[in-house]
Structure 1
Amino acid sequence: MKYKQIKDLNASAVGFGCWAIGGTWNNVSDEESIKSIKAAIDTGINFFDVAPVYGKGHAETVLGQALKNESRDKIIIATKCGLPWSQDERKKTRKDLTKASIFKEIDDSLMRLQTDYVDLYQVHWPDPNTPISETAEALAELKKQGKIRHVGVSNYSLDMTRQMMEGVEVATFQGLYNLLEQNPEHYHNIPLQYRAREEALPFCKANDMKYLRTRH
């Protein structure tokens, strides 16, 4: 397995995406999910990308169960914030990157993941109703508290990322990119505001930021 540096994190070049283990796609058993996570570790994968919204907390819970007996300093947990859900039976998600919401989300994530910190905390989706400066301030405070080690953005434009960088160091930029689609134009029918190969990758290199590639 090859490894890449994300600041002081030595992350496997191939990560384990945890969307499916939340149970959203088909009937995925927790037992099989845990076996898959442990098999990934055996191959040298140490980077696990998850989010609270994957299965409304279930993916984080399963990942926490799978990793509870692993050496914490050898595992890199990357989770996200910004898509909380209502507590009624509908469990409807909303975009919320206010300081109060982020502080609640990180505590809930730490509990489900059975850890006292996450290595990478990513903003999942932009929140048009909350100033980026407020979000950056919240993330910077969580770094000071030791609950998160590094900050990342997902589904952000380059301009939004620049604004985030004014308030907190940004370690990663998660976006679309793969060998067959190096300059995707849409994600979930939403037009992208950058060209991955010509704009986003050089931007990340210039700012000592790793580009986390998704393959949608």
Structure 2
Amino acid sequence: MKKNRLGNTDLYVSPVSFGVLTVGNTQLNLTVDEGAKLIKYAFSKGINFFDTAQYYETYPYLKEAFKDIDMSADAPERPVICTKSLDLSYEEMEYAVKEALREMDLEIIDIFLLHEVRQDPDWDMRQGAWQCLKDYKEKGIIKAIGISTHHIDVTEKMASIPECDVVFPLINFAGLGIRKGSGHGTPEEMAAAIEKCADAGKGVFAMKAFGGGNLTGQYQKSLEYVSSLKGIDSIMVGIGKKEEIDRLVSFAEGTLPCDYQPDISSKKIHIDPGDCEGCGSCITRCPNKAIGWNENGIAQVNHQICLTCGYCAPVCPVRAIIMY
């Protein structure tokens, strides 16, 4: 599979890539051995780019998957690993960096991001953590730094931040989860922000092309839309099965049949407890009253009466509604 240069960095990544969150305990909850075998299979098929995060608790899968791979800094065929942290302070981020190195048994980290940067004042509040990432890049322990975000305004801001090497924004053709300030944004606005970042030399890889699984039924349209945008170097997709790897690779290599239609009959709608803010928008929108509050004050789906219509997903302000 061809590799794309990630902006102005020295990192070259596959045009489709593996989001490791899916295999972890908040979604499929695969064993470490099962998840590691899936990651190794993807790597054998040409996918060399893997995304994780401190709070995903998926470091053990990557450590196991690549324990027999030369992961030294100058290894020519090493996978590219991105991780992220929600921390605000210098000290907290320093711990997160050292934790990632230790838990994945790495000498260096290819990409480290501030996780889910929101509209101001979030960026200002996280300058301690950002300074830590800059310092560890200067030491050569991190190769590239940047942010992940669902926000158009944050993506635009990164185009003018010289130390930011890479941006990981949310983008899909339906606009699911795209934010602008405190409201909703459009795919066109996010695409324009992505182009600004690319023009400024930032590497850009996209998240949520399938809108958290809600657009999987429109598989090719979803991937074709994101891959056609100017500035997208890779599309990060949550993966949980070998057949998902095979069809993703087929898409990237141009061999996927034009009439391909995935079977989504067994997929269910879930509320990610780590993202839900308890606003109640999905509860109000559900036509079958299948979503209610749980004991922790966040939304929960009753799968016995859920119609899997997906009407709830567009109204969620934080993209907490996923389908798998």
Return the TM-score normalized by structure 2. Answer: 0.54
Give unmatched runs, 5+ long, in structure 2.
Answer: 212-324
Give the 5 Å matches for 1:57-96: 57=57, 59-72=58-71, 73=75, 74-82=78-86, 96=87
| RMSD of Structure 2 on Structure 1 (CA) | 2.5
The aligned counterpart of 1:122 is 113
Contact 1:151/1:172 (<8 A) preserved = yes
Specify the code of the residue in structure 1 equivalent to 2:85: C
Specify the code of the residue in structure 2 equivalent to 1:52: Q
Shift of 1:71: 2.5
Give unmatched runs, 5+ long, in structure 1.
Answer: 83-95
Query: How big is each residue's C-alpha offset from its partner over 1:3-53, in whole Å with a ceiling of 9 and x where there is no partner?
Result: 110110011111111002222114422222111111101111111100111
2:175 is the counterpart of 1:153:
no
Cα 1:5/1:162, change in 2 over 3 Å: same
Percent of aligned positions that are identical? 25
Whole-Å separation in 1 of the counterparts to 2:2 and 2:123: 40
Cα 1:9/1:186, change in 2 over 3 Å: closer
Specify the code of the residue in structure 2 equivalent to 1:3: K
Farther off after superposition, 32-41 or 136-145: 136-145
The aligned counterpart of 1:3 is 3
Q: How many residues align?
A: 195
Whole-Å separation in 1 of the counterparts to 2:90 and 2:185: 26
Specify the code of the residue in structure 2 equivalent to 1:81: S
Farther off after superposition, 136-145 or 157-166: 157-166
Give the 5 Å matches for 1:122-201: 122-126=113-117, 128=122, 131-155=125-149, 157=151, 159-160=153-154, 169-178=163-172, 180-181=173-174, 183-184=175-176, 186=178, 191-192=183-184, 195-197=189-191, 199-201=192-194
Farther off after superposition, 165-174 or 34-43: 165-174
2:204 is the counterpart of 1:211:
yes
Query: How big is each residue's C-alpha offset from its partner over 1:178-209, in whole Å with a ceiling of 9 and x where there is no partner?
Result: 3x33x44646xx74567222x22221222111
